[in-house]
Structure 1
Amino acid sequence: MYTTPDSQLSTRNVDWIKYKEILEAATDTQVPLKTTKDVDAATAKLMRLIQFAAAEASLRRTSENPLTASRRPPPPHIYHLLLVKRSAKTLWNLTRFLAHKTALNRANKELTLALIEEKQELTKRELAVLNSSDGTLFKKTKQLTKECSDIPPIKLNSIWYSTPTEKTELFSRILEQQFTPNDLPSPIEDELPPPAKQDREKLG
């Protein structure tokens, strides 16, 4: 007798506390189940929600993304706002209700403001620990006052052109040499009749 293999929600380790929080925040228990169509639609939504929660709660290995592994974890209030936003986005994707869209916009705004405040606070703490004795103040000052050159200089025939005026004149000379018209006879001009007497008088 053939038996189907056991399916898995995720091949990684799962943070079950986070999984539970996502399900509790996104599950709508007030869905009407009066007809077979309602039951099928609610079942499909629940399956998508379970898959989404399992994917979000999966613990990724550090070898999969070494860049994110070295980052500092977000503060608790940022993490909470992120969960609220994800839950609101899940509800909006599943239901497309206007109220859920409003909740998603509000969650996005709150998370954005919190991230801005957190960045400003980190900058304040970073500037507060600068000290002239250990060189941190000098390094930060040099970093902030360093001029960035978006357009590098041009070197032609062992000569460097750095200012905008020098570059403009250089391009002007190069384009003039490349696009000079050839001094070739034109068959159209040879076929034209000579100008009339009145035209010659006007030209003269």
Structure 2
Amino acid sequence: MERPSGLVYVVDDDRRVQEALSALLRANGRDVRAFNSGAEFLDTPRQDVVACLILDLRMPGMNGLEVQKLVSTDSQIPVIFITGRGDVPSTVLAMKGGAVDFLTKPLDEDVLMRAIDAALARAHVLRKEAEEIAALLALYQSLTPREQELLPLLASGLLNKQAASVLGITEYTVQVHRGHIMRKMQANSFATLVRLASRLQLETSSMTTFDA
């Protein structure tokens, strides 16, 4: 099976570990960029490519868990933690933060390469999902303000007349808007439109209970 492609970032304050990991990864056909600290990694502009991060847990200044938290605020880079001496609380925090794996030094080459393959495979999935959501948001933003108000009402299961009552417009106007929404959102069925609205996580600002 073809291995997932991508860039591997290595962050470790021990230069010998950096060099050893970089040499190992390049020998296995991986593109690598190494950093001496979490601060250096965070301050360096990252390439717009699929990537994963090998991150030392214990470093002077900013530790690995702090780096993981900051990285997660602006990107979805899968993280593999490495440490000379792991502990259960740190492992739990790392995994809760979304880490792919938590490996103890000295690293087993086969285990590390499998973890990298898994991390890059996840990175590809995350990028695809992000691109799909971005495209979906662009469609949603093409709707008029009124259509954006109407979409979550329809997706929540309200009939046209019920949605019309909530918005204070006529049922005919709702029907017209509904047609425009279907076209702009590129939904070939109402079920598809509901799924798209669900992915956008739209919420209705005001819901009214109606009799059928």
Could you say which structure has the larger radius of gyration?
1
Q: Which has the higher helix share?
A: 1
TM bin, normalised by shorter chain, reads under 0.3
Bigger strand share: 2
